[in-house]
């Protein structure tokens, strides 16, 4: 693949100039020019000869490099990044490989560097290669990496920097090898332990939400519709003009919705370990379990200052992939989180009785909470709240400096969290606080209760 020349959308082409001679090179030029002046002062023929030779050496070295590097352009390279994974789970090893062939006429000292995001740990190999690059030679830069933080990242581009052996000149060429990489939450790769095996059972748990369907327990009678199974017609209750059918409870298929608070407060915590990261990790555990079990459905609603994104509950590999990609890209947005309004908007969108798994810092007051919660429950939904104790998200400071300030802020935040949790519990909502150990265990406990399973530790 050759580098292509397409205009960069929305960004004017840079016309600025880049110096090929390095600071070290200019120092050498300046130094030898000064040496010439000193020699001219002495008028000593030998010193003058030495100074002229030294200046000639520096100028000659620079001129030699400029001549060799005159066709050093992106178009002169054939470059290809091995098409590998575009979706990588967090904390999982993967490899990257870039192949480039130099089609110029002269060889040069090359430093090839593939730019790796800061949150990637190099596990083996190196994204950097310092070598002599002869014409028509193909260089391969390969390395294993581990993504430490979920999100959208860019792997690449690759820089080829040609320089002379003295470091007087260097010219960097950018090769178009950048690819977007979605780093999925790490929970995708976790083994669900014995729970996953038990999930193939259709036995309802202690907290199922009932809704009409093809279950075993009688629910009610209703008029016949053309799509109904003829075997469910209640002949004794039917009349010649109105057929009636028996309706059953569908208790072994549950709908779940993750309600995510994207308020910036939820992004408190270390990079890769903030409240949203823990929420996403816990949610993806359940999503992965549901994918294996193929019975329940799961969706996502994120809220900040209004509904930000809504993915209705569904099942199937395609839906799970879509959901995981969206979980990977969840990020903070400015705006308040009003729990009452979030519940109202959620209830408005849900068609069936749903377990709503709320992840929120509860940092904003919600004046209409009691009324909205009552309305939410009356529609047959059930709310479970997972609240981060932000004071416990940060690891303890190693140094004494600032520890007192952090302890004070942590105590204030902890008191606020306790008040918010107590208030929600008084409304009858089960609340599960979580800290930097994550919300996975709490989430599994809730889902286990829904599905009638015991979490095996």
Partner 1 sequence: MTTLSPARVLLVAPVFLYVALVTFLPLNGFDWASVVAAALTSLPVLGPLAGRRAGILTVPAFLLFLDVALDAVISNGFPTGVAASVAGGLLLGTPLWFLGVVTLSEREPGISLLAAQIGLAQSTALLAARATLPTGPMGHTPVGFAQAYVGALTGQLDALAQLIRGIAPTSFPLQTVVDPVFLVLAASALLGIVLLELRSLSAERTIREASERVEKPWRPEGRHAPLALPDQFEAVLKGRSAPEVPGRAYLGGLAGVGVATLVAIGFEAFAAEAPAFALVAVAIGAAVTLGLLIVLSAVRRDRLEPAHPSAQVL
Region binding partner 1 by CB under 8 A among candidate stretches 128-136, 191-199, 359-367, 410-418:
128-136
Neighbours of 127 (CB within 10 A): 20
Query: Rule CB under 8 A: is residue 181 a binding residue for partner 1?
Result: no
Distance CA 309, CA 318 (A): 18
In degrees, rounded to 5, the angle at the alpha carbon of residue 245 between the alpha carbons of residues 451 and 255 is 25
Binding partner 1 (rule: CB under 8 A), the pick from 10, 15, 348, 378 is: 15
Q: Determine how β-strand 87-89 pairs with β-strand 354-359.
A: unpaired
Query: Rule CB under 8 A: is residue 52 a binding residue for partner 1?
Result: yes
Closer residue to partner 1 in complex, CB, 65/434:
65
Query: Rule CB under 8 A: is residue 18 a binding residue for partner 1?
Result: yes
Closer residue to partner 1 in complex, CB, 111/423:
111
- Largest Cα–Cα distance in the chain? 128
Please list, in sequence order, all residues whose beta carbon lies within 8 angstroms of the beta carbon of residue 278, skipping any fewer than 6 positions away.
269, 388, 393, 434, 436, 438, 439, 440
Binding partner 1 (rule: CB under 8 A), the pick from 88, 89, 90, 94 is: 94
Task: Extract the tokens encoding 115.
Answer: 């730019």
Query: Rule CB under 8 A: is residue 92 a binding residue for partner 1?
Result: no
Binding partner 1 (rule: CB under 8 A), the pick from 115, 234, 243, 455 is: 115
Task: Extract the tokens encoding 216.
Answer: 């075993």
Query: Rule CB under 8 A: is residue 3 a binding residue for partner 1?
Result: yes
Number of residues interacting with partner 1: please give it, by CB under 8 A.
120
Binding partner 1 (rule: CB under 8 A), the pick from 78, 178, 238, 380 is: 178
Distance CA 293, CA 72 (A): 56
Query: Rule CB under 8 A: is residue 397 a binding residue for partner 1?
Result: no
Binding partner 1 (rule: CB under 8 A), the pick from 24, 292, 333, 414 is: 24
Least distance to partner 1 from the beta carbon of 39, Å? 7
Closer residue to partner 1 in complex, CB, 46/235:
46
Provide the sign of the torsion angle of the four alpha carbons 128, 130, 135, 138, taken in this order: negative
Binding partner 1 (rule: CB under 8 A), the pick from 125, 272, 410, 430 is: 125
Closest C-alpha to 197, from 281, 283, 292: 292
Region binding partner 1 by CB under 8 A among candidate stretches 139-147, 191-199, 202-210, 416-424:
139-147
* Tokens 């016949």 found at: 224
Query: In the beta sheet, which residues pair with residue 113?
Result: 128, 159
* Tokens 């909470």 found at: 369
CA atoms within 13 A on the CB side of 377: 11
Distance CA 66, CA 62 (A): 6
Least distance to partner 1 from the beta carbon of 22, Å? 6
Task: Pick out residues in 200-239 that bind partner 1 (CB under 8 A).
Answer: none
| Cβ(105)–Cβ(71) below 8 Å | yes
Query: Rule CB under 8 A: is residue 89 a binding residue for partner 1?
Result: no
Region binding partner 1 by CB under 8 A among candidate stretches 150-158, 258-266, 291-299, 345-353:
150-158
Q: Please tell me what DSSP assigns to residue 322.
A: H
In degrees, rounded to 5, the angle at the alpha carbon of residue 152 between the alpha carbons of residues 150 and 156 is 115
Least distance to partner 1 from the beta carbon of 369, Å? 43
Binding partner 1 (rule: CB under 8 A), the pick from 87, 105, 136, 144 is: 144
Query: Rule CB under 8 A: is residue 165 a binding residue for partner 1?
Result: yes
Query: Rule CB under 8 A: is residue 23 a binding residue for partner 1?
Result: yes
């Amino acid at each position: 693949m050759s580098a292509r020349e397409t205009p960069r959308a929305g960004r004017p082409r840079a016309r600025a100039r880049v110096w090929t001679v390095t600071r070290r090179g200019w120092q050498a030029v300046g130094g030898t020019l000064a040496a010439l002046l000193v020699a001219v002062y002495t008028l000593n023929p030998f010193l003058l000869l030495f100074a002229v030779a030294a200046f000639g050496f520096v100028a000659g070295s620079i001129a030699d490099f400029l001549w060799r590097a005159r066709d050093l352009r992106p178009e002169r390279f054939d470059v290809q990044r091995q098409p590998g994974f575009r979706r990588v789970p967090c904390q999982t090893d993967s490899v990257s490989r870039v192949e480039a062939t130099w089609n110029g006429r002269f060889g040069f000292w090359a430093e090839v560097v593939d730019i790796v995001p800061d949150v990637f740990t190099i596990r083996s190999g190196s994204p950097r290669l310092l070598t002599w690059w002869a014409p028509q030679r193909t260089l391969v830069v390969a390395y294993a990496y581990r993504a430490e933080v979920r999100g959208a990242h860019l792997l690449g581009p690759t820089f080829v920097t040609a320089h002379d052996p003295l470091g007087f000149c260097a010219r960097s060429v950018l090769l178009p090898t950048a690819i977007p990489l979605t780093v999925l939450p790490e929970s995708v790769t976790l083994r669900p332990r014995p729970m996953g095996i038990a999930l193939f059972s259709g036995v309802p748990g202690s907290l199922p939400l009932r809704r009409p369907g093809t279950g075993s327990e009688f629910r009610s009678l209703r008029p016949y519709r053309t799509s109904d199974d003829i075997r469910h017609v209640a002949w004794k209750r039917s009349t010649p003009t109105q057929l009636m059918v028996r309706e059953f409870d569908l208790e072994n298929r549950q709908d779940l919705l993750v309600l995510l608070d994207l308020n910036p407060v939820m992004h408190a915590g270390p990079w890769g370990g903030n409240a949203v990261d823990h929420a996403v990790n816990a949610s993806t555990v359940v999503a992965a379990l549901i994918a294996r079990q193929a019975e329940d459905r799961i969706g996502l609603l994120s809220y900040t200052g209004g509904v930000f994104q809504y993915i209705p509950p569904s099942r199937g590999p395609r839906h799970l992939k879509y959901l995981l990609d969206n979980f990977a890209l969840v990020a903070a947005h400015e705006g308040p989180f009003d729990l009452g309004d979030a519940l109202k908007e959620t209830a408005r969108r849900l068609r069936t009785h749903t377990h709503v798994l709320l992840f929120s810092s509860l940092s904003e007051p919600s004046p209409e909470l009691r009324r909205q919660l009552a309305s939410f429950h009356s529609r047959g939904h059930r709310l479970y709240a997972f609240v981060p104790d932000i004071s416990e998200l940060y690891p303890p400071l190693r140094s004494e400096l600032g520890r007192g300030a952090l302890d004070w802020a942590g105590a204030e935040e902890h008191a606020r969290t306790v008040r918010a949790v107590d208030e929600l519990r008084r409304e009858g909502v089960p609340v599960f606080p979580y800290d930097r150990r994550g919300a996975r265990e709490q989430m599994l406990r809730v889902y286990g209760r829904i599905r009638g399973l015991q979490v095996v530790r």
